[in-house]
Structure 1
């Protein structure tokens, strides 16, 4: 039985018509090619080539062998083409879901990196609520769900993505805008926009307010960070929001102020326990981790 390497050498001699040409084509030494051919012809018990006019041409008795070798080589070329197409993401897609706080800034950063790595990959990004994650994954609407909170479900696996913090945001001309940091006691002086107390981030603030004996007063509630930031920018109030949502916010739009108390939280990516994720989903997770752990907004004084 011929090995793929032997097939490669035989075809190189066929194409080039010489041992020297085959050696150059394969970037190996001529003696190596000669030894392989002698060993191969001895093993097969037939001649594969004859010399004619100073060139190696296929022996008449080996014509059928060469036809098969050409077929094998064409299939190898087809295989390599398929691998190359897959490496570029050609004719394949990745569908995943994300909660808004991760989707607003971090997902676009990761997608740009994915486009460079897989320029032909089709991406379908679904914005989901936390309570929609179970159905989203169990009904196979997407491979991965990017979450700001870990749910308990026997059929889902949650893996850590990145750690974030909450920050206080105001309009640039607000009286608190130049504060180097702010405490819960100082935040409690202002009516807040968002965050719903039942939201994972809201629960952190409710706990802090209760621990310090303050009422968590949110006269304006807005579920999505983009809406919260737009309201704050227009001086409709102040807010507490996650660092990932404000990662691309310039100082001209909002003042981002560190909160003195501990507000760290963990984000996750969730998958079905009974399935493995594709290499494309794995690359997405890698890019997200890089972006989310290196984001300037993790230092809120940015």
Structure 2
């Protein structure tokens, strides 16, 4: 099948009619019919049964559509990448970060960057790591921040700063009465847990199970920020990344590093085959400084 055959076949399967496919592809109905006929001729089989002027996909067409739909999504991604390159969007710095890092690290870094490059455009966005990887590969972002190394062959991951998972203990709780590292075995206050799909939360649970004291949570949340807010409200205690911990209100929360230590790395993510522009490299420097300042505030 040629690329044009694939486009027409996919459009017909989506629209269900020749006329609908013609609208999707912005071509005439006779053109759609001609391409479909040529496609079927080359394949040596019919893709649609014609009954009273309507098209009904054959079993072979339905099986073929499963693979062609995957290919079509790749083609859409290629077109988006080409459009970004054509529009010159790659000339501006486009930074994406997970929500936690967007709040904790980016504002301080952007303050310095804007002073250094007052005339340079920049776009900021937040997303989850899986979507961040897609944006980098498609050329929709230049650099990104995440607490997770996606281990993708097309993504370069560089550690900008490192800390460790930290317990947030509401003032007045038994855990807040002491200082120093907090063993999971000593947790008695109700624990606000993170969703099971969170990589760092899984590391914490694995560490607790290794000690024979698996952590149990009646309340689970999807974001570190919500977990922190619940602790500040006195609902319970939690274990979060150090960047979220640094933003906690010390008038309501006591901070204690978790024992055994669970390391947390702040990763700079970039496309492996896309070198950064000078202004973007400068922003990386400011991001690293902001992250390290953030971690140092844990000790003040």
- Please give the TM-score of this superposition, normalised by the length of structure 2: 0.64
Structure 1 residue 100 displacement after superposition: 2.1
Matches of 2:283 and 2:177, distance apart in 1: 37
Taking the aligned partners of 2:175 and 2:290, their CA distance within structure 1 comes to: 29
Give the Cα–Cα distance (whole angstroms) in 2 for the partners of residues 290 and 155 of structure 1: 26
Structure 2 unmatched ranges of 5 or more: 1-90
Residue deviations 1:106-162, cap 9 Å, x none? 111111111221223333211111221221111222101211111122211111221
Find the counterpart in structure 2 of residue 240 from structure 1. 239
Q: Secondary structure at the match of 1:176?
A: helix
1:48-127 equivalent positions in 2, closer than 5 A: 93-127=92-126
What is the match of residue 175 of structure 1? 174
Post-superposition CA distance 1:259-302 (Å, at most 9, x none) = 2321112221111122111222211211121122233x447453
- Report the counterpart of residue 66 of structure 1 in structure 2: none
Instruction: Compute the displacement of 1:237 (Å).
Output: 1.2
**What is the rounded CA distance, in whole Å, between the counterparts of 2:179 and 2:297 in structure 1?**
12
Distance 2:219 2:281 in 1: 38
Q: Does 1:201 align with 2:200?
A: yes
Hey, what does 1:37 align to over in structure 2? none
Q: In structure 1, the residue corresponding to 2:235 is in which secondary structure?
A: coil
Maintained 8 Å contact 1:144/1:271: yes
Range that drifts further, 194-203 or 103-112: 194-203
Give runs of aligned pairs for residues 273-284 of structure 1, distance below 5 A: 273-284=272-283
C-alpha RMSD of the superposition: 1.9
Question: Could you tell me how far apart the structure 2 residues matched to 1:128 and 1:251 are?
Answer: 28
Q: Secondary structure at the match of 1:213?
A: coil
Contact in 2 for aligned 1:258/1:300 (Cα 8 Å): no
- Give per-residue Cα distances to partners, 1:184-243, cap 9 Å, x unaligned: 1012x3332132233121122112111111222122222222211111111111100111
Counterpart of 2:144 in 1: which secondary structure? strand
TM-score (norm 1): 0.64
Residues 36-84 of structure 1: CA deviation (Å, up to 9, x unaligned)? xxxxxxxxxxxxxxxxxxxxxxxxxxxxxxxxxxxxxxxxxxxxxxxxx
For structure 1, the residue ranges without an aligned partner over 5 or more in a row are 1-91
Determine the structure 2 residue equivalent to 1:288.
Answer: 287
1:255 maps to which residue?
A: 254
Secondary structure, counterpart of 1:113 in structure 2: helix
For these two proteins, the number of residue pairs brought into alignment is 209
- The corresponding residue for 2:160 is 161
Distance 2:287 2:242 in 1: 14
